């Protein structure tokens, strides 16, 4: 690594770091929402927005907009918000963060995996909703066995989304998704035919 490249990587590293106490990213380059529960003000997680020591008292170390940063007395009741979706995209795609990515391959891979799991969870949740809709249709058409099977499938999908990265691997979830899609599409076609038969 050249001296110039190393210097650039170090500079970016100072602006981006992992805040392990809250399991999220921090630093002046990291866009965020104010940690105040009802506030959607966009800030960054640099020191200007961080609640640090106030006289003899330690700060809570959370990040607030100017309006909520001064409300120190109630900061202990506030919980940290997760990373902003814009940051999650930036860390993987922003060209200016390339030196940081090269200097932190482990963190980059963790973020890629986190993004992939998040996307997969959304897909599983969408499919679970679809299974619920088809189950309701089946129940309306007196297909109680089919309705029960679809509701059970929706529950299984929700459990899989919660277990992803823990007790269920990505491949296990993908296999479940593949089978679930076939079941749901088959049910949709059967229910479409049943609805047409009822109309005639």
The pLDDT of residue 5 is 40
The pLDDT of residue 14 is 56
Residues 162, 77, single domain; the answer is: no
CB 3 within 8 A of CB 10: no
Residues 121, 190, single domain; the answer is: yes
Q: Which of 6-15, 88-97, 157-166 has the lowest mean pLDDT?
A: 6-15
Note the pLDDT tens digit of each residue in 41-81.
Answer: 999 999 999 998 665 567 899 999 999 999 988 988 999 99
CB 176 within 8 A of CB 167: no
Residues 133, 83, single domain; the answer is: no
User: Backbone phi, then psi, for 134, in 5-degree steps?
Assistant: -70, -35
Asked whether residue 108 is domain-assigned, the answer is no
Residues 94, 16, single domain; the answer is: yes
Asked whether residue 96 is domain-assigned, the answer is yes
The pLDDT of residue 29 is 93
| Cα separation, 33 vs 24, whole angstroms | 12
Count: domains in the chain? 2
Q: Which domain holds residue 66?
A: 3-103
């Amino acid at each position: 690594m050249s001296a110039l490249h190393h210097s650039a990587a170090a500079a970016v590293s100072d602006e981006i770091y992992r805040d392990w106490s809250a399991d999220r990213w921090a630093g002046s380059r990291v866009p965020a929402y104010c940690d105040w529960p009802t506030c959607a003000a966009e800030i960054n997680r640099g020191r200007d927005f961080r609640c640090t020591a106030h006289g003899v008292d330690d700060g809570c170390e959370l990040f607030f907009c100017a309006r909520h940063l001064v409300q120190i007395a109630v900061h202990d009741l506030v919980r940290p918000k997760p990373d902003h979706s814009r940051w999650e995209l930036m860390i993987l795609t922003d060209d200016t963060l390339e030196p940081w990515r090269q200097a932190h391959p482990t963190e980059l891979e963790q973020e890629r995996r986190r993004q992939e799991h998040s996307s997969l969870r959304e897909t599983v949740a969408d499919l679970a909703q679809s299974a619920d809709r088809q189950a309701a249709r089946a129940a309306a058409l007196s297909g109680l066995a089919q309705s029960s099977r679809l509701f059970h499938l929706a529950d299984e999908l929700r459990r899989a989304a919660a277990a992803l990265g823990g007790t269920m691997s990505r491949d296990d979830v993908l296999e479940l998704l593949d089978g679930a899609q076939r079941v749901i599409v088959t049910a949709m076609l059967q229910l479409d035919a049943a609805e047409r038969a009822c109309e005639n």
